[in-house]
Amino acid sequence: QVQFVESGGGLVQPGGSLRLSCAASRSIDSIYVMDWYRQAPGKQRELAARNFKSGAINYADSVKGRFTISRDSAKNTVYLQMNSLKTDDTGVYYCNGKPLPYSAYYAWGQGTQVTVAS
């Protein structure tokens, strides 16, 4: 098992930037995929960005060109750099991973709140 702790959220104005961090309790080298999800108020959790251990990366259309996911194996940390933030990006952001392609996610953490407002 592995635990994840998200941090870096906060209040930012539209057009601003934030960098979220996801610290893992052990090495993430072997984890098949690391994801950043987000959940807006009253909505379902949605996938924002995906980082495969192969190096491949996927983004939701809504964040493409603005968000960047990266994996730092030396620090057991996954980052989400968020630029040009919009009010629609407001929500709780969670990271998680799957050890293998068809396995379940690890336990979810508490997430970190991102609020984009003027």
Report which residue type is found at 75: K
Nearest residue to 108 (alpha-carbon basis) of 22, 28, 50 = 22
Q: What are the pLDDT digits (tens) for 87-118?
A: 999 999 999 999 999 999 999 999 999 999 99
pLDDT at 45: 97
pLDDT at 28: 94
Which residue matches tokens 């392609």?
A: 101
Nearest residue to 111 (alpha-carbon basis) of 19, 9, 2, 1 = 9
pLDDT at 89: 98
Which residue matches tokens 């934030």?
A: 18
For residue 70, the 8-state DSSP code is E
3-class secondary-structure state, position 10: strand
pLDDT at 96: 97
Residues of the chain with pLDDT below 70 are: none
Report which residue type is found at 71: R
